[in-house]
Structure 1
Amino acid sequence: MSDLRPRSRSIGGIARHGRLRSSRPIVTVLKFVGAAIAVVAVSAASVAGIAVAGIASKINSVALPGEKQGPPPDLGSFEGGFNVLIVGSDTRAGQGGQFGKDDGVLNDVTMLVHVSEDQSNAVAVSIPRDMVVPIPACPREDGKGNYNSMSAQPINNTLAYGGLACTALTVEKLTGLKIPFAALITFQGVIQMSTAVGGVPVCVNGPLIDNYSGINLPKAGSYTLAGADALAFLRSRHGVGDGSDLGRISSQQVFLSSLVRTVKSNDTLTNFTKLYGIATAASQNMTLSNSLKNVNTMASLALVLKGIPLDRITFVQYPGTTGVSGVYEGKVAPLTSVATALFAKIKADESFSLDSGTGRGSVADPNTSPEPSASATPAPSSSASAPAPTPTADAVTGVLGQTAADYTCSKVNR
């Protein structure tokens, strides 16, 4: 346990209720939403904008362990399935003074995106930042040996411990999936890309007023959020679900699913100004694995993601729970049996449904419409909980989440 280097700061319990420092919740949420924005940014922006040489030349890259760089595919010719790891960094370096000063570097977002072999569906698995997992021996950044393995550490220590490569190795060990592609995003990139998207429609099932984050949505309904309002919504923990981080994850998936719908809409995909803005922000604020940096590779993967229907893009939480003692005290403990069943489905590229609900912080939208609302004016909404889903033969019991086609509302914490 002593091998953690000084630049990794200590992690508090998952259910902290004291008033947070202004910089910390911003950092936490920016990275989480950054994960999803990064996925769709690579998807939409690389096709229309990132091929511009002036943009692509600004992208930083790093090597993954065992990374093989074969010839890049021809544009649009990528075959088979693939896995992409999206990591959000809370580094303050080069991010501006508004986020405070902190030498720590944590991966507060760790999201693995799996695309099936026939390219018909995608699953994005969010791993809770405080989930305690084994960390394998990670290569030192200078290539001289390895850092020691550890039996139980919060996964968000891996970025500080051994960089993006260490996070990738840890997720490979946890999931059993090989990770050939990885991307890291800073929160300045999230700010710029979320602005470039032009706002994201969200729904709440009651007044969402959280003085800790600054969000103030006075009544139930739909709102289109951008900039500071979007950040306040995403960083609200006390205002949604049961006030926990796990509740906040499902509330954030309300935003993330709507974000995917927004980016995949014709309004975005045919708007060069938006795409160029997303691509520029991504290139200036992302670090990619060497395997992903090539423009043709990015664009080819993007075309695959672009072609997957919304109802086949699924956001799930890595199965976990709070309230466990021992090394999991104040952290998240994996639900191993549920995770095993989930990843058996993912590895086999077998479709599955979710029969356990969307999570602690969201409910079904009772006023689902064919298109996301573009109005900032609240629309009437119900505070009723989502009806219990009917179990199906291919359901993975105990896995929480939703598809990008599901319209949900954040469940306010009363």
Structure 2
Amino acid sequence: MSDELRPRSTRSKLSTIARHGRLPRSNPFVTVAKVLAVSLAVLLASGVSVAAIATFDVAASVQESVQLANETEGPAPKIDAIPGGVNLLIVGSDSRKGQDPAFGDEDDTADLNDVTMLLHISEDHSNASVISFPRDMYVPIPECPNPEGGTFDAMSSQKINTTLSYGGLACTVLTVEKLTGLNIPYAAEVQFSGVMAMSTAVGGVPVCVAEDIEDEYTGTYLKAGMHTLEGVDALQFLRTRHGIGDGSDLTRISNQQVFLSSLMRTVKSADTLTDPLKVYSLAKAVTANMSLSTNLNDVSTLASIAVAVKDIDLSKVVFIQVPTGTVDGGVEPIEPDFEELFAAVAADDSLQLAGTTGGGATLDPSAPVTAEPAPAAPADPDAAADPDAAADPATPDPAATDPATTVLSDSVTGQTAGDLTCSVGRTLDQQ
């Protein structure tokens, strides 16, 4: 889903070279403890959007280092949540460069960002959203830096998935900033192979299929029922378009949300978190298949973003597809719904969906029903009669402590990470 893996920086190469001295053997148990501490933090956030949100070079972190005479091995470092909110853009390219030949000739495809998702973490870390922008959405593209020098001219209306080939990851970020009014200091580009490796690292991702999926383009054939997908099967499930909903990219987004919500539940499950091998393997899988923006390519930043996500309740992590309407050759944002969505994001509101899951997904009919909240206790008539009666100071005022909740327009589709959903498939004779 991205171009070929870019070489590590000169600095990372030089960091492995010792000068004027021998490399003392470090304590392997302390080294592993440090690696797992950071890897665990990364893992806890990784399920939010194709597990590509927060990672670092695990391989580099375990290399031998030069120990000074006055140094002693200490305990694993304490990792704190990043202060304040976070906006992080994740793009997935359809480039075949550096990928398995089974995906096609690397010279036959352009470097298009067919997946563009924005992770937003609220200032108080009480909620998060993962917002998908359809690849065929027409948007204005601002001036973008040319990687070879100079700048590219602005364009009034082009599909958002052309930004990666036009000016690289930086251009995609500038475009989404202009579109949403948000400042986005972090970005990552993900490859096909990364999705495959990550799904395998967690032992497979369980997905529910409501109706048979048949897609001869990706080789995806799944009968109605539950399936545990990993490797190529997981990747092709995310790529399938013809085999779900109405065959459009819009229904593919909702199908991807089925997978991503299940991946997040899998990552945060005890089966994953108590297995050091899975923790390490997932962090390693993500690292080897991503290109990170400069601000994100730092161990402490990556780990602190992960910690900010790990304690957010699944019901407060919302996967959203931006509201769009059909135009000739693609789609465009629906206003004022689009602007209202990002006003709520900028305000750090807790987002609540009023619309459906989209044409590529449906609620799982076998999912347990959430119990209705207990009715509020009747008011105390004596307290109501006494205007001087003070409220119990031990009982906090929810309105004063909880973030505002915005119920989004019906045109905004998606689901929470806690929703159990199924993919809506279609067979070859329906295509």
Count the aligned residue pairs.
Answer: 333
Which residues of 2 match residues 33-72 of structure 1 at below 5 A?
Answer: 40-43=51-54, 50=58, 53-54=61-62
Structure 2 CA distance for aligned equivalents of residues 313 and 98 of structure 1: 34
Structure 2 CA distance for aligned equivalents of residues 393 and 37 of structure 1: 21
Cα deviations by residue, 1:355-409 (Å, 9 ceiling, x for unpaired): 1111011111011159xxxxxxxxxxxxxxxxxxxxx973433110000000011
Deviation of 1:52 (Å):
5.9
TM-score by length of 1: 0.75
Deviation of 1:93 (Å):
2.4
Cα deviations by residue, 1:169-227 (Å, 9 ceiling, x for unpaired): 00000111100111111112222222212111111112223333322223x32221222
| Structure 2 residues not aligned, in runs of 5+ | 1-45, 66-76, 370-404
Distance 1:351 1:38, change over 3 A: closer
Deviation of 1:38 (Å):
5.6
Say if 2:111 is the partner of 1:109.
no
Name the SS for the 1:239 alignment partner. coil
Name the SS for the 1:367 alignment partner. coil
Say if 2:174 is the partner of 1:169.
yes
Distance 1:228 1:185, change over 3 A: closer
**Is the contact between residue 37 and residue 193 of structure 1 (CA under 8 Å) also seen in structure 2?**
no
Report the counterpart of residue 363 of structure 1 in structure 2. Answer: 362
Structure 2 CA distance for aligned equivalents of residues 352 and 113 of structure 1: 13
Deviation of 1:240 (Å):
1.5
Say if 2:159 is the partner of 1:160.
no
Say if 2:126 is the partner of 1:120.
yes
**Is the contact between residue 38 and residue 185 of structure 1 (CA under 8 Å) also seen in structure 2?**
no
Say if 2:405 is the partner of 1:406.
no
Structure 2 CA distance for aligned equivalents of residues 135 and 126 of structure 1: 17
For 2:218, which of 208, 213, 221 is the aligned residue?
213
Distance 1:93 1:213, change over 3 A: closer
Say if 2:133 is the partner of 1:133.
no
TM-score by length of 2: 0.72
Name the SS for the 2:134 alignment partner. coil
Deviation of 1:100 (Å):
2.1
**Is the contact between residue 204 and residue 410 of structure 1 (CA under 8 Å) also seen in structure 2?**
yes
1:188 partner letter: S
**Is the contact between residue 195 and residue 234 of structure 2 (CA under 8 Å) also seen in structure 1?**
no
**Is the contact between residue 214 and residue 232 of structure 1 (CA under 8 Å) also seen in structure 2?**
yes
Deviation of 1:250 (Å):
0.9
Name the SS for the 1:396 alignment partner. coil
Structure 1 CA distance for aligned equivalents of residues 60 and 279 of structure 2: 12
**Is the contact between residue 121 and residue 313 of structure 1 (CA under 8 Å) also seen in structure 2?**
yes
Distance 1:171 1:305, change over 3 A: same
Report the counterpart of residue 69 of structure 1 in structure 2. Answer: none
Say if 2:272 is the partner of 1:268.
yes
Structure 1 CA distance for aligned equivalents of residues 139 and 264 of structure 2: 29
For 1:100, which of 96, 101, 104 is the aligned residue?
104
Structure 1 CA distance for aligned equivalents of residues 406 and 116 of structure 2: 30
Distance 1:95 1:264, change over 3 A: same
Distance 1:332 1:80, change over 3 A: same
Report the counterpart of residue 233 of structure 2 in structure 1. Answer: 229
User: Structure 1 stretches (4+) deviating beyond 6 angstroms?
Assistant: none
Report the counterpart of residue 187 of structure 2 in structure 1. Answer: 182
Report the counterpart of residue 306 of structure 2 in structure 1. Answer: 302
Distance 1:226 1:39, change over 3 A: closer
Identity of aligned residues (%): 54
- Of the two structures, which has the highest relative contact order with CA contacts closer than 8 Å and spacing of 6 or more? 1
Structure 2 CA distance for aligned equivalents of residues 234 and 253 of structure 1: 9
Structure 2 CA distance for aligned equivalents of residues 121 and 275 of structure 1: 24
Report the counterpart of residue 28 of structure 1 in structure 2. Answer: none
| Structure 1 residues not aligned, in runs of 5+ | 1-34, 58-72, 371-391
**Is the contact between residue 111 and residue 124 of structure 1 (CA under 8 Å) also seen in structure 2?**
yes
Structure 2 CA distance for aligned equivalents of residues 90 and 171 of structure 1: 19
Structure 2 CA distance for aligned equivalents of residues 267 and 216 of structure 1: 28
Name the SS for the 2:351 alignment partner. coil
